[in-house]
Structures are given as structure tokens and as C-alpha cells.
Amino acid sequence: MPGPTDLPVADGVLAPTARMARREWRTALELATAAVRTRDLQEWPRGDGHPVIVLPGFLAGPESTVFLRAHLRRLGYRTHDWRQGRNLGVHPGLGEALQDLLLEVHDRYGRRVSLVGWSAGGIYAREMARALPHYTRSVITLGSPFRGHPESTRAWRVYQLLNRGRHTDALFTEEARAARAAPLPVPTTCIYSRNDGIVAWECCVSEPADHTENVEVTASHLGYGHELATLRVVADRLAQPEGGWAPWAATPRGEVG
């Protein structure tokens, strides 16, 4: 995985090829495998009951995170959907609505909230934590292109069709992109895959910072939320005691130990 001295360049990197995108069909196999292997929870790290908000990727909705939320709930977490329906991009008021959700969930349980964001959902999760770090326990991103430019994703043209105007243009200035790429003040795990057929993996890894790590898995982009090794990383990261963060002890090629 990228270390402090070998952070890959994200600006100008090409989006995954059509050949890589066609391999996204693997998500069905990833889901089938995980559905069987997650039935027995004895070998999975258990949660401490703290709340977790899960945010879906672009063009996805609550149904896409059902498996992930259910698995985390069985491990002992209080899981919540992002309550915004289908993710069609950033719109005026979205940031405020998500911050209100974070505050509501925090106040409901009286505990800091972990945020798990898939693809574009991870970008939103990062900005929620950046705005409200004292209410955020940790952030985990799954193939989220928070560095570089979204033209390095195969979803960019569709995003442009659905999101236009000054508000959208302001999101992609050099200053705005640099601000999104800046590391967070809370424990952060950036999960990425070189097999991602939608998003260039170079855009999904963070600059080095305290309590920030990049973890490589072998998932497809559409499979991050249910691929077995990815689930293992997510469960391990969430199970860390608050205030007791330590880097992920990776097994070879992101395999489950």
C-alpha cells in the first residue's frame, strides 16, 4: 500500500478502462461469498454499540448499503442510513442536512459517531467529519475519489449531466479540490482497490497524516460494501477503542486472516 514517500499522483490520472469496468460483474460473486462467510460471527471483531452512519455512492441509494448495515448491526453497532434517498450528487443544503443527521445521531446515543462512506458517499463523510470533528469517532472511505478530479472516474459524464450550475462548478476549483484532499483531524481509513473498475485508485488514497491510513483490498468498486476482505477491514477499524487507534495490520493482498 502507498507509504509516506510514495503517494501516487492523482491529478490527471486516467479513469479505469472499459475492460476494467466490465469486470465489475464480480460484485455478484463477492456478495454471494460474503453472505455465506458472515453467517458465523465468532471470528469477527465485535462492536461496542457506538453509532455508525453509512453513506451510499453516486447513483446508489439505501438499498445498496443494506448488507453492510445489517452486518455491522449484527456485530453490535447502531447503524443508520444517510436519509437522503438516492445519491444524485451534491445539491444546496446537502451538507447542512448531513451535519444535522450527525448531530442528531450523536445526541440520541450520547456517543461519537463513525462514518462509513462508499465512493462519493465517502467524500460526504469526510466533509461531515471535517465540519464536526468533536462529534465524529472515525471515518472509513470505500473507493472514494477525494483526491484529484472526478473526471478520473467513469461516472464523471453522468455526474455532469445531473449536476450543473455555479454550485457544482465551485466544487471543482483547484482550491476546493485541495481542501477535500486535506487529511482529517479524526482517525481515517481510506480503503482502495487496484481492481476498481469505476474510480482510479490513485484518487482514493490519502496524504500521510497522524491517525490516517490507506488500506488496499481486491474488491470491485460495486463490491466494496460486501466484499469479504473489505468487510473485515471495516469491522476491525470500527472495533478499535475510542482514543486507542492503531494502524491496520494488513494480511497479504487484503485477505481475511
Query: pLDDT at position 256, please?
Result: 37
User: 50 in a domain, yes or no?
Assistant: yes
Determine, yes or no, domain membership for 249: no
Provide the β-strand partners of residue 241: none
Q: Which residues face 202 on adjacent strands?
A: none
| Cα–Cα dist 195/197, whole Å | 6
At which residue does the C-alpha cell 440520541 appear? 108
* 3 inside domain: no
Residue 228 lies in a domain: yes
Run of H or E including 179: helix 174-181
The answer as to whether 34 is a domain residue is: yes
The residues facing 118 across adjacent strands are 142
pLDDT at 152: 87
- Report which of 235, 210, 181, 248 is spatially closest to residue 68, judged by C-alpha positions: 235
DSSP-derived 3-state class of residue 33:
helix
Calculate ∠ Cα 229-36-121, nearest 5°. 45
Count CA atoms closer than 13 A to 255's CA, side-chain side.
4
Residue 240: how many other CB atoms lie within 10 Å:
18
CATH code, 39: 3.40.50.1820
Give the pLDDT of residue 250: 58
Residue 154 confidence (pLDDT): 87
The answer to whether position 208 is within a domain reads: yes
CA torsion sign for 42, 48, 51, 55 is negative
What CA–CA distance (Å, rounded) separates 202 from 148? 8
What is residue 88's three-state secondary structure? coil
Query: Does the residue 8 lie in any domain?
Result: no
The tens place of each residue's pLDDT in the chain, 257 residues long, gives 554 447 898 888 989 899 999 989 899 999 999 999 999 998 899 999 999 999 999 999 999 999 999 999 999 999 999 999 999 988 889 999 999 999 999 999 999 999 999 999 999 999 999 999 999 999 999 999 999 988 889 888 887 778 777 677 788 888 989 999 999 999 999 999 999 999 999 999 999 999 999 999 999 999 999 999 999 999 999 999 999 999 998 543 333 33
Task: Give the domain range for residue 70.
Answer: 18-237
What per-residue confidence (pLDDT) applies to 86?
A: 94
**Phi and psi, residue 101, nearest 5°:** -65, -45
Which residues are 254's β-sheet partners? none
User: Closest Cα to residue 75, out of 224, 214, 232?
Assistant: 232
Tally of domains within the chain:
1
Domain assignment present for 247: no
